């Protein structure tokens, strides 16, 4: 499966308040995240936090569009089925 998520960098907008985090994930971890995001409704995401539906949609689009769709004919679902 590989190493767990590795945090590479954290930038701060002000002391003690992270603004961005750069992390390295395995393909398996990213697959899990994509499947999780794809299984939730926008209403569920919005209940987690205000603006959650947009964040969920953007993350899922990027994970599936840039990582899985170019390499698997049926995208994230095919990647999951091949595990």
pTM of the model: 0.82
37-52 pLDDT, tens digit each = 999 999 999 999 999 9
E-strand stretches of 1-83: 6-14, 17-24
2 dihedral zone (left: phi>0; alpha: psi -120 to 50; beta): left
User: Closest Cα partner for 38 from 79, 1, 82, 6?
Assistant: 79
Q: Along the chain (83 residues), what's the average pLDDT of each consecutive run of 10 residues?
A: 82 93 93 94 96 96 92 89 85
């Amino acid at each position: 499966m590989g190493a767990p998520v590795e945090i590479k960098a954290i930038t701060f907008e002000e002391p003690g308040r992270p603004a961005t985090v750069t992390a390295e994930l395995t393909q398996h971890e990213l697959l899990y995240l994509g499947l999780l995001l794809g299984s939730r409704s926008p209403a569920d995401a919005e209940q987690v936090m205000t603006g959650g539906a947009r964040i969920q949609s953007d993350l899922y689009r990027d994970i599936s569009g840039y990582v899985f769709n170019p390499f698997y004919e049926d995208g994230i679902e095919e990647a999951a089925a091949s595990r």
